[in-house]
Structure 1
């Protein structure tokens, strides 16, 4: 049977005999990018499509979204299990995917079963769910193809066995075996036995073939199912003219007993204001014409004036800011005019071919039809390659940092959102229902919960205290703060651009663009808030955005962090308040709080943990580390307690009154996929995203840290307490004995019960590190209340691994693995070899995205030579890949051509910068540890302080003692460190260069860390010039293989004579200047060099140059310019560099071509 032409059926779900019809198609597409029109034609007549051989790598799988529009997908790639950054971006192969119309999204669930060849999804229908399995079986002809085929059959058998009792199982795909009786190859026999054993019903094309290949035809694409009555209307899609695959698609209807859940969501067009194209003069005029200093007498006047400013800003935006449509309907990819013309011609020829009776392959129409098929595929591949190259060139040409980041991030970003939420065992797929689910979750979280362990008496006392405090501040003698326009202007500068709109449609650009005209009205409103003690209701409401926590199950609403976008004017007001009280939040902050504090970083807490471990291990003492996880810490802050603690900080009582008012009658709405929930009250918690939230939370939790320190439970370095390093709500308890550790846990547990929050007993863990053999423990378990704390051997804290064994080694492995994954993920941006970005741009991406991942947190560890070597191996490998240099290339050249530092230099730079941050932090705990360790530790100590002191000595920098007395500024210290490290490594790498015979032509005096060699920075923004430069880099680094090198480094006897001219030894000079066989390839470029030099120095100059000097000019013009005193300017050097690239590449190409001819001549005409 044959299908209807695309377009005659919409593929939408329709009822048939009171059953639901689900249209399923299957095709081996042989490349999604090269067969996109065919895929989109199948989407017109289907509800689900099973795809084999999409030919996408894992790093580019999101590219499939360009072709799908209002369809979703489930995809696996061949490099699913073993990703590795490649020397060059190769053509993709294999892979499977299932795509479906989003109308049936409520009924679809992807399954974890399968592999990169087999994937499955579930259609939730009654009475039995449907399990669809898409398979792409291994091809025959390889040494292990039979064993791979058996393994795939075994995996398929496992999936069928798992679901057949509860589901109707439907299998589609390319089986790479036939079920026809007239063929019985090994894979055919295996598949026939598999079908028989699993009692599968076969739906095929009868005698029609589904695969047309060079040596004939075969039938290998099938639908199989466990229920024969499930399938109807099987069709062979052999008349879809857009298909360029050698496989013919198949289609069928799956009949269901009950209707599926269908999504009826209406897509809304989304627009974005283009503030960079704003008519600023017109905008400011609109503001100044309608805004004036308000007269405010009553609280309602404040609300009115705030609304007026919102209205004026929105009106000014409508008048002066253009908008851009950012969400289009349908697929992003559209067929080009040329592709549409080929498709039209192919359809016309196909109709003529049908009219004359489907003639054989020798008929002119058959030949023309085939040629048009190849033309269509060729044109699609050309356009995809052109699109990719265009993207690379745009990135390479981009000078603006913001646009550079935008291009990189856009190319790696998927537009997919959460597929389904799991609520009470049921999947919620409609976005409005999901929005309500989130709202119910966050509303429940915002209401204080009852727990029998909570201290209700304490809360009652706090409620009484709060009433007293309110009476006290009502008659306060404190000075009433007057908010000035200057303060408002400073607060406005703190706002970030390009952020989400608030509830009223206002963004920071509205206020920033308004200029000075809006400052006085806002200042008057803020002063009135202070005077009347009334915070407008607009400041108390917000839009809550659920943000998925990376690595957590997206189907669970608890794995979303609620980030609240509050009123922009409210943010400005909070910034003004924060500026006035930030010195008091909290007034006596614990020195072990390393979160949300100016000049302090979380890694300082990690350093205290590492240094404490080192101290206790050195003294042969055990250490017990408890990592506590507070459940939804920010969301359950008790307002009563927080306000009382804030009052006791001694802040201005008028400001306290305003904050009290601000945290009374709070409300939020959830925004999810364009849906907004009903408003709900916030009765506890500080808003994540709020300006005051961090300071308020630190005030709330500070008493716990002080209580722990006063109790003397925990570890010490000398007399300095280190027992509770904390980052915001991330609390670590370090105990020096089992009982000591339990006492600290008891204090933390009691505090949590008083303050009405829960420490999660399952997510909190303890590590027992370095327990001496002669040490006797008094406890066998540790508890949080009645719950036993789990004992772990490894956990992650502040992004770093903490282990019972070697923390440093575990983190080195993890950092390298993380960097490798990041590098691989950036392959789609062109971060690979000779067919990607130019090396200077690739190195920029590597430095910005990969290097920070590789080195994160390692500045807090004492690294041994083995650790640095492991990092160096990866770093060097990555830089070689970026420059397409072989493994044999000298290390010093790999670094200096890019101006890159060795990994040891990068580590030392980060470590010394971190030291400067510690010294400037004025944190007593850190400074006491520095001073103490300096005075008592020997040079052989494993203390971090001694390790850093040795690094300072290595680079002849000031000692820690001097730095503590004369504290350098951030910029001056960073510059001093950078200069010292670069000077040291420049000298070391250049000395290494001088010892390498392969770097004869590389002028080392022009090489410098931080400066890219002209070989790379003069490369044009296109792939061809990058390839030319890579070829020259091989010559320059001595890694281009010629006969003399083969003779020198080969164990066997190799003749060094040139194989092309047989006249002399083949070295670089011979190849580039002397070989007669290559004369035609180099003549044009040598003539151009002669012309340039003659123009600059006069006639006769070029002819008088020795070949050694000419080689210097060709290989490294900087050497010729200095050594031979040619005094060429930058523009001339750049031009000569460009000519030399062309020369090296052209000679290389010609040499390869001629050597291949020589090789064929030796083999003889038959190749024997």
Structure 2
């Protein structure tokens, strides 16, 4: 019976392996078909689809969340940590910003408020306005805190349209926004490739009530009527694509190289938490200048007064907290309001003719939402552009990250010495870099297409591009050369790895998985139970003597630095002890200095080495 069960288990594992192989094959065919379609029929829709595919849709839950040096493992503790993080982010900070400009905006804000009270009401909404707004809602999205989704409104337009029309018109007449419109649930979403333990690597995506989204969809067309948007703002704009902003940089590089023969400098500017730190008073001041619509200005002011949010994480929802700054990521009005917030900077640069021109067309600051790039043929002019950006950042109460602000020389004549160039961002110098990333594309001093190729050729010890261009090999000869070079590289790499890990063998339980069940998971040292990491480090009786000597030293030293009380509280089970042995870095906040952690790690490493050596000796003896 046992043999039959083993046979069935092996067949199951083989079937699963074949299924995964087929899935990978289908995914490859799907990628190939998509790339062929992208090359044959390029369009804005295909470009955005490519961006979404590259960003990925998998959000893996973090094992733990770190807050002020403390590690939180439970869903409740992590939710509360995120709540405190986003609540602190929603409170304005004074990091050396222009307080006089804020005072002026406050005075103007009060004047605008009085003017709005004396103005006539906006024309009423019609049934058609509400129907158009309902059709703009995206299906398949998460339900709001009331349990409503876009489908509820799309599938019953005749039922809800009359009610919503009266409701929205009453809001305009009374200038009062219901509290439910100001509520939202924030879900932390990890940025791609970032450390999941750090809360700073998450962006808060807000899910607002569907009825609030409908209201914002209804007023958005009226808000944008008189907005004179900068022609170099390509983000969140109908008929425009971020691809166009990238194309401008490519065209500028071709222009200076083939036509004007001038140098070309590029600086990409990174703003910290751009959407989350928008000051509401300054935003409303800019909105009034751009819209000149008193009733709508008053509605937006009331909509952003008294905002509250809650955090949802792993099925747990936090208590509500107030939002005093920022525009919600995921809100209908948020992209438009942010464009209003940064529009003055783009217009200021253009009005002062700061930046590059292609012919008579100004292209000095191609922008997509908060991703701004500065282009210029003069490094002195580029410094002026940085100074203007710094001035606007102080007024707008935005912090520009100097470490992520990079400069690249896209075209360098021979008379320019790279080491002589530098710029200043506030008090921080900015030196030329070899490359920077703008809108997902690498912009390098070398040709972007050759950047990775050069590195790959060097990695596999293949001839350089220059050498190949002088003596071009045939296709078959080149394929054979590349194949041998790759095989030689990885053979040497793996042999080197084997030399440093000559006695490394799988634990028996892992070996059983890899063998498809053909090998037994039973510990060969003691024969009492399956050999997994817990059994090997803590339980195997055959390794008891080595474990007793080494673990007692580790335990005694840890207790001497953290105290017996903390030891008894934190190390209650096998998993806690395994964590201490494998990765003791979580103890760092409780230690006085790094030296104590280094000693703990040395003791843990010594324990693992002695247990491993004893295990190998016993297995070789058998």
Q: Is 1:695 the equivalent of 2:340?
A: no
Contact in 2 for aligned 1:483/1:523 (Cα 8 Å): yes
Cα deviation for residue 676 of structure 1 reads 1.1
Q: Is 1:491 the equivalent of 2:133?
A: yes
Contact in 2 for aligned 1:762/1:790 (Cα 8 Å): no
Contact in 2 for aligned 1:739/1:779 (Cα 8 Å): no
Residues 430, 716 of structure 1: alpha-carbon distance in 2 compared, 3 angstrom cutoff: same
Paired position in structure 1 for 2:250: 610
Paired position in structure 2 for 1:139: none
Distance (Å, rounded) in 2 between the aligned partners of 1:388 and 1:730: 39
Partner secondary structure for residue 204 of structure 2 = strand
Distance (Å, rounded) in 2 between the aligned partners of 1:416 and 1:732: 32
Cα deviation for residue 466 of structure 1 reads 0.4
Paired position in structure 2 for 1:481: 123
Q: Is 1:785 the equivalent of 2:429?
A: no
Contact in 2 for aligned 1:625/1:766 (Cα 8 Å): yes
Candidates 307, 311, 333, aligned match of 1:666: 307
Cα deviation for residue 375 of structure 1 reads 2.6
Candidates 142, 146, 160, aligned match of 1:500: 142
Partner secondary structure for residue 374 of structure 2 = strand
Contact in 2 for aligned 1:595/1:728 (Cα 8 Å): yes
Paired position in structure 1 for 2:228: 588
Q: Is 1:455 the equivalent of 2:98?
A: yes
Q: Is 1:520 the equivalent of 2:162?
A: yes
Distance (Å, rounded) in 1 between the aligned partners of 2:339 and 2:428: 27
Candidates 625, 640, 647, aligned match of 2:266: 625
The structure whose RCO (Cα within 8 Å, separation 6+) is larger is 2
Normalized against structure 2, the TM-score is what? 0.65
Residues 416, 783 of structure 1: alpha-carbon distance in 2 compared, 3 angstrom cutoff: closer
Q: Deviations over 1:1089-1126 (max 9, x none)?
A: xxxxxxxxxxxxxxxxxxxxxxxxxxxxxxxxxxxxxx
Residues 473, 777 of structure 1: alpha-carbon distance in 2 compared, 3 angstrom cutoff: same
Rg larger for: 1
Contact in 2 for aligned 1:540/1:666 (Cα 8 Å): yes
Residues 793, 571 of structure 1: alpha-carbon distance in 2 compared, 3 angstrom cutoff: same
Q: Is 1:806 the equivalent of 2:418?
A: no
Contact in 1 for aligned 2:418/2:432 (Cα 8 Å): no
Q: Is 1:509 the equivalent of 2:141?
A: no
Q: Deviations over 1:935-991 (max 9, x none)?
A: xxxxxxxxxxxxxxxxxxxxxxxxxxxxxxxxxxxxxxxxxxxxxxxxxxxxxxxxx
Query: Which structure shows the bigger proportion of residues in helix conformation?
Result: 2
Q: Is 1:562 the equivalent of 2:204?
A: yes
Candidates 194, 197, 202, aligned match of 1:552: 194
Candidates 462, 465, 469, aligned match of 2:112: 469
Q: Is 1:532 the equivalent of 2:174?
A: yes
Normalized against structure 1, the TM-score is what? 0.36
Cα deviation for residue 778 of structure 1 reads 11
Distance (Å, rounded) in 2 between the aligned partners of 1:614 and 1:635: 37
Contact in 1 for aligned 2:185/2:309 (Cα 8 Å): yes
Distance (Å, rounded) in 1 between the aligned partners of 2:420 and 2:383: 9
Partner secondary structure for residue 583 of structure 1 = coil
Cα deviation for residue 522 of structure 1 reads 1.0
Residues 459, 811 of structure 1: alpha-carbon distance in 2 compared, 3 angstrom cutoff: farther
Cα deviation for residue 377 of structure 1 reads 3.5
Candidates 375, 381, 391, aligned match of 2:7: 375
Paired position in structure 2 for 1:442: 86
Cα deviation for residue 581 of structure 1 reads 2.3
In structure 2, stretches of 5+ residues that fail to align are: 35-48, 457-468, 477-622
Cα deviation for residue 422 of structure 1 reads 1.9
Distance (Å, rounded) in 1 between the aligned partners of 2:348 and 2:453: 36
Residues 414, 573 of structure 1: alpha-carbon distance in 2 compared, 3 angstrom cutoff: closer
Distance (Å, rounded) in 2 between the aligned partners of 1:791 and 1:390: 47
Q: Deviations over 1:135-168 (max 9, x none)?
A: xxxxxxxxxxxxxxxxxxxxxxxxxxxxxxxxxx
Cα deviation for residue 645 of structure 1 reads 1.2
Residues 465, 392 of structure 1: alpha-carbon distance in 2 compared, 3 angstrom cutoff: closer
Paired position in structure 1 for 2:238: 598
Paired position in structure 2 for 1:645: 286
Distance (Å, rounded) in 1 between the aligned partners of 2:360 and 2:402: 31
Distance (Å, rounded) in 1 between the aligned partners of 2:413 and 2:186: 51
Q: Deviations over 1:470-519 (max 9, x none)?
A: 00011113x52212222111111111122112122221122223331111
Distance (Å, rounded) in 1 between the aligned partners of 2:25 and 2:240: 40
Cα deviation for residue 651 of structure 1 reads 4.3
Cα deviation for residue 379 of structure 1 reads 3.8
Paired position in structure 1 for 2:481: none
Residues 391, 551 of structure 1: alpha-carbon distance in 2 compared, 3 angstrom cutoff: closer
Residues 713, 504 of structure 1: alpha-carbon distance in 2 compared, 3 angstrom cutoff: same
Contact in 2 for aligned 1:592/1:725 (Cα 8 Å): yes
Paired position in structure 2 for 1:675: 316
Partner secondary structure for residue 257 of structure 2 = helix
